[in-house]
Amino acid sequence: MNASTNDTTARRIMALYLATGLGLAVLLMVVGILMRMSQAGWIRLASVDFYALMTLHGAGMIAALVLCGMGGIWYLMRREVAMSASLALWAYGVTVGGVLLVAVAAAFGKFGAAWTFLYPLPFLNPTWPAWSIGAFLIGLTLIVLGWTVWCIQVLEAVLRGFGGFRGVLGWDAVFRPKAFAAAGRKLPPPQVLPAFVIAFDGLLAATAASLLGVALFVHWLDPSVPLDALWAKNITYFFGHDLANFIIYMLIAQVYVGLPAYAGRPWKNSAVLTLGWWGTLVFLLLAFPHHLYMDFAQPAWIQYLGLGASYLSSVPVAVVTVFGGLLLVWRSGMRWGLGSLFMYAGMAGWILGGIGALLDATINFNVHLHNTLWVPAHFHTYLLGASFLFAIGWVFAMLEVRSPDPTPPAMRWTIGVTVLGGIALLVGTFYLAGAASVPRRYDVEPDPGPLLAGWGSVGAIILVLGLLIATLEGARLWRGLRRAKTSVEWPWSPDAAARPEGGAR
Ligand code: HEM
């Protein structure tokens, strides 16, 4: 197979992952709107339906954006290092099979123990049948299996392509910078850092998930075998918190490659950026105890470890990346399009959601914000207002950079205002409700919850309408590309000649 056939296959695989992830996300947005409208009192979902939909929405959305990140990183690494397409398809198939089983458990069995399925809730006086617990657990197991295959494949490729741990971690650039520069050596491109960190940490999280999965299966088959609830909660959040967090760190890889296409200059890796990712590598795994501040049986030192790690896992990479993004754009003669708009706005969403998350991870604030709508507020900000924007920004970047017929400014404004405005209104009402102590996961909320849920529904409807217009515009750009049979190189690579050592195709 020649290089261009390989590239076409790789692009198709990425497109499959992205189309499935984004399609599923938009479908589940409609589910989100139904829940928010029910909380507003506009419609009335029965409690069992509300919690089944909430479980489906949560688990499905996480899986949808994980799929987008998996496809994006797989493609970017495939550009650098040879990787098996069949293995990527296998991981895709198993993951999607898992999502379907979770959907069956929620839609037909009305399994409603939330996407966090915290022991013993799935088994405690359930309103759902025993088979739906099994279907949900098997579904999650398949998702973890697909994820594990992806992690192993990406980790092996990155280590093979970029000089092992020493090369990927930029050891010589950090500790012997002068000798490194004098030898004319180069760090790997920046997108290799998220690929490595997430594949490495992802494997550890998957190991924990497998352990928990076996324990839950045993309890499902023989309820007389008890589990330690605190142990189960620690492992559940070690896996669940990490997986939800991995999403934004995976999708930032698309920004490292996509945004430079509009700025006209490369996003360079540096010792500072690499050091930021060292922090993420370690602290991402240690931040989860901030979900357990209310568990008084948890040893206090673990709580403080969680507090410190929460700050250290996110701040270095977010700050270095966002400043790097600002410098990339500054005086670059930036070409603004829908792709650059979404990726740039997504970086703002990352910072805003990150601040919301760190406030909640701070013990003194957590006492007030724990289990209020502040929690969905911050994670919707960085999942919807950042990660999702990175994913659609990447799709538009692929279309716009090669397009012979760019999006007219009026259309850009319409899409930008509806999508970003809709997100702002939706998450803004979550924050206000959280600050007013409205609890999360209540199908019927106390005041001022219903009023704010009404405004949140308006925001979400505007967002979905904006996405519909964006889809039509994307289809127009795509048709233009096909008609013009454009030969512009993609992915656009300003430093294609300066590949780092070992970075061969
Ligand atoms: C139109 C867009 C969306 C709307 C209207 C929406 C709405 C909602 C609502 C009403 C809840 C329940 C809040 C509560 O009372 O606790 C919720 C929970 C959740 N949402 Fe969304 N959402 C949207 C997009 C997203 C996206 C893009 C993601 C992530 C990729 C996401 C992930 C989640 C998760 C993980 C939960 C928690 C479920 C649980 O508690 O088990 N949502 N969403």
Which residue's alpha carbon is at the smallest distance from atom 19 of ligand 1?
58
The DSSP string of 333-382 is T----HHHHHHHHHHHHHHHHHHHHHHHTSHHHHHHHTTBTHHHHHHHHH
Q: Among the listed ranges 56-65, 146-155, 301-310, which one has the minimum average pLDDT value?
A: 301-310
Cα distance between residue 254 and residue 490, in whole Å: 13
Percent of the chain with pLDDT over 70: 95
Which residue's alpha carbon is at the smallest distance from atom 30 of ligand 1?
61
pLDDT at 240: 95
Query: 405 CA to middle of ligand 1, Å?
Result: 36
Tell whether ligand 1 has an atom less than 6 A from the beta carbon of residue 186. Answer: no
Query: 98 CA to middle of ligand 1, Å?
Result: 20
Average pLDDT, stretch 192-213? Answer: 96
225-259 pLDDT, tens per residue? 999 999 999 999 999 999 999 999 999 999 999 99
CB atoms within 10 A of CB 500: 20
Tell whether ligand 1 has an atom less than 6 A from the beta carbon of residue 433. Answer: no
Contact 109, 129 (CB under 8 A): yes
Query: 56 CA to middle of ligand 1, Å?
Result: 10
Statement: residue 505 has pLDDT above 70: no
Who wins on pLDDT, 362 or 489? Answer: 362
Tell whether ligand 1 has an atom less than 6 A from the beta carbon of residue 388. Answer: yes
Contact 122, 113 (CB under 8 A): yes
Statement: residue 2 has pLDDT above 60: no
Average pLDDT, stretch 278-286? Answer: 93
Statement: residue 215 has pLDDT above 90: yes
Q: Among the listed ranges 174-188, 358-372, 490-504, which one has the minimum average pLDDT value?
A: 490-504
Tell whether ligand 1 has an atom less than 6 A from the beta carbon of residue 441. Answer: yes
Task: Determine the atom of ligand 1 nearest the C-alpha atom of 445.
Answer: 15
Tell whether ligand 1 has an atom less than 6 A from the beta carbon of residue 33. Answer: yes
Tell whether ligand 1 has an atom less than 6 A from the beta carbon of residue 59. Answer: no
365-395 pLDDT, tens per residue? 998 998 999 999 999 999 999 999 999 999 9
Query: 36 CA to middle of ligand 1, Å?
Result: 9
Contact 501, 185 (CB under 8 A): yes
Who wins on pLDDT, 401 or 47? Answer: 47
Average pLDDT, stretch 410-424? Answer: 98
Task: Determine the atom of ligand 1 nearest the C-alpha atom of 35.
Answer: 10
Closest CA to 376 of 302, 318, 452: 452
End-to-end CA, the chain = 13
Contacts of 450 (CB under 8 A, 6+ apart): 39, 40, 41
Could you tell me how many residues make up the chain? 505
Percent of the chain with pLDDT over 90: 84
Backbone angles phi, psi at 41, to 5 degrees: 85, 10
pLDDT at 286: 93
pLDDT at 492: 57
Instruction: Select from 250, 380, 389, 392 the residue to mutate for testing ligand 1; criterion: most ligand atoms less than 8 Å from CB.
Output: 380
Query: 220 CA to middle of ligand 1, Å?
Result: 27
Contact 164, 46 (CB under 8 A): no
H or E element that contains 208: helix 192-221
State which fold the 7-498 domain adopts. Answer: Cytochrome C Oxidase; Chain A (1.20.210)
Which residue's alpha carbon is at the smallest distance from atom 2 of ligand 1?
29
Which residue's alpha carbon is at the smallest distance from atom 22 of ligand 1?
32
pLDDT at 205: 97
Query: 2 CA to middle of ligand 1, Å?
Result: 44
Tell whether ligand 1 has an atom less than 6 A from the beta carbon of residue 133. Answer: no
Task: Determine the atom of ligand 1 nearest the C-alpha atom of 54.
Answer: 38
Tell whether ligand 1 has an atom less than 6 A from the beta carbon of residue 17. Answer: no
Q: Is the peptide bond before 226 cis (omega within 30 degrees of 0)?
A: no
pLDDT at 320: 87
494-503 pLDDT, tens per residue? 444 333 333 3
Query: 277 CA to middle of ligand 1, Å?
Result: 28
Task: Determine the atom of ligand 1 nearest the C-alpha atom of 387.
Answer: 30
Predicted confidence band of residue 100 (pLDDT cuts 50, 70, 90): very high
Quote helix, strand, coil % in the chain, to nearest 5: 75, 0, 25
439-478 pLDDT, tens per residue? 999 999 999 999 999 999 999 999 999 999 999 999 999 9
Query: 461 CA to middle of ligand 1, Å?
Result: 14
108-162 pLDDT, tens per residue? 999 999 999 999 999 999 999 999 999 999 999 999 999 999 999 999 999 999 9
Statement: residue 214 has pLDDT above 60: yes
Predicted confidence band of residue 491 (pLDDT cuts 50, 70, 90): low
Query: 247 CA to middle of ligand 1, Å?
Result: 15
Tell whether ligand 1 has an atom less than 6 A from the beta carbon of residue 460. Answer: yes
Who wins on pLDDT, 456 or 401? Answer: 456
372 DSSP β-pair partners: 439
Predicted confidence band of residue 263 (pLDDT cuts 50, 70, 90): very high
Task: Determine the atom of ligand 1 nearest the C-alpha atom of 25.
Answer: 27
Query: 290 CA to middle of ligand 1, Å?
Result: 20
* 3-class secondary structure per residue, 5-72: HHHHHHHHHHHHHHHHHHHHHHHHHHHHHHHHHHHHCCCCCCHHHHHHHHHHHHHHHHHHHHHHHHHH
The average confidence (pLDDT) of the chain is 92
Q: Where are the domains of the chain?
A: 7-498
Average pLDDT, stretch 260-289? Answer: 93
pLDDT at 402: 79
Task: Determine the atom of ligand 1 nearest the C-alpha atom of 442.
Answer: 15
